[in-house]
Amino acid sequence: MFILSIETSCDETAAAVIQSEAAGLSLLTNIVSSQIKLHAAWGGVVPNLAAREHLKNILPVIEEALNAAGVTKGAIDLIAVTHGPGLIPALLIGVGAAKTLSYLWDVPLIGIHHIEGHIYANFLHEIKSEEVEFPALCLVVSGGHTQLVLMKKHLNYEVVGETQDDAAGEAFDKVARILGLGYPGGPAIAAAAANYKLQMTNDKQSASQQTKFKISKEILTTRHQLLNTTLPRPMINSKNLNFSFSGLKTAVLYLVKKNKLLLKNEKFVAEVAAEFQQAACDVLITKTISAAKKYDAKTVMLAGGVSANRELRKQLGAAIEKELPNVSYMMPAIEYTGDNAAMIGAAAHFRWRNISEKDRQKFKNNWKNLETDANLKLNA
Ligand code: KG4
Ligand code: ZN
């Protein structure tokens, strides 16, 4: 069967076509129209602007997905759409389009939780990984969520830890703004931090070739600023599995306020970016390992926009190898870490095969019933 999936919960208008069979799923097309440039001017996503763009793009994106997949409208067996959580004006466009098509084409409609989609992005690139071992512990890190989710089986979720304030992605975005690195902040921080690492390696090499006195004064000053200043790792030693990122962001803000002139210094900015990224990774990884141990997880998964972060991917992998050598580690392919519709289709593939033939009939009426919910709970 063919599934058309739609995602418009934030600033990406996305549609995908998935072929879903008993043996597994295969992704035929994944079209994403990003609004990042539009929102960058505002330093963040403006809900009504996002809705306007979704309205402009939604049908062309769906048409493109169908054409690229070589699948006609008549061949679609199921429509899947993100119905929460997210920005209501944005969600309404995707859900409105999905309901209309479900009614016109007379095909069932299923609502998917956005975070469930992010988790199921793990099942897009390796069909074999459908045989994942449970319990699985999933670190969900996006612009709106930071959660540790325990899955005892497919489609079963228990949130065992979450952020008490900002989400990890939100912290990356806010710190990037403080450092003047632009929007979206995650990739900008990661790039600055990678530059810093490179710089340090080069400096070390050239320092070893020169006498001590030849190292530029600027480098010494810049290093000095941070060598004496480690950013906090909030809640890293707390007994629970929750997170807090707003204090970390505020620590960066104070550091920068004290050193305003240094904001003009690329090396200083890169150094703060690297230290912030490391602080965030340290907390995320420590809590994930604790949770995996506590719940005897057989698998650890990464999910959400921040899972594109290469340091997080690498360092979490290394921590698992060291501390939990018998646990498997899954992460979505980089291209499916951000918002997309392929992940919504993947979640729909798993949901649909779990629904009995009789119950499937009800989904034909979902064009009347499906609602959007900005705060939709996982497992609701
Ligand atoms: O999942 P996502 O695309 O949208 C939401 O559901 O929120 O996540 C977006 C978040 C943004 O905060 C963005 O800055 C962050 O993911 N992000 C990253 C990276 N790429 C995107 N954070 C850290 N490192 C990255 N490479
Ligand atoms: Zn997302």
**Which residue puts its alpha carbon closest to atom 16 of ligand 1?**
305
Distance 142 CA to ligand 2 centre (A): 6
Peptide bond into 234 cis (omega under 30): no
**Atom 14 in ligand 1: residue holding the nearest Cα:** 186
Q: Look at 8-22, 58-72, 227-241, 341-355 and tell me which has the smallest mean pLDDT.
A: 227-241
Q: How many angstroms does the Cα of residue 314 sit away from the middle of ligand 1? A: 17
Mean pLDDT of 84-93: 98
Ligand 2 centroid to residue 208 C-alpha, Å? 45
Residue-wise pLDDT tens digits, 317-376:
999 999 999 999 999 999 999 999 999 999 999 999 999 999 999 999 999 999 999 999
Among 130, 157, 166, 119, residue whose Cα is nearest residue 24:
130
- pLDDT above 90 as % of the chain: 79
Residue 79 has pLDDT above 60, yes or no: yes
Does residue 173 have its Cβ closer than 6 Å to ligand 1? yes
Q: Name the least confident of 34-38, 66-70, 281-285, 322-326.
A: 34-38
Its pTM stands at 0.93
Looking at ligand 1, which residue's alpha carbon is closest to its atom 13?
186
Q: Is 10 in the pocket of ligand 1 (CB under 6 A)?
A: yes
How many whole angstroms from 96 Cα to the centroid of ligand 2? Answer: 19
Q: Which atom of ligand 1 is nearest to the CA of 9?
A: 6
Kindly indicate the confidence band of residue 222, based on its pLDDT and cuts at 50, 70 and 90: very low
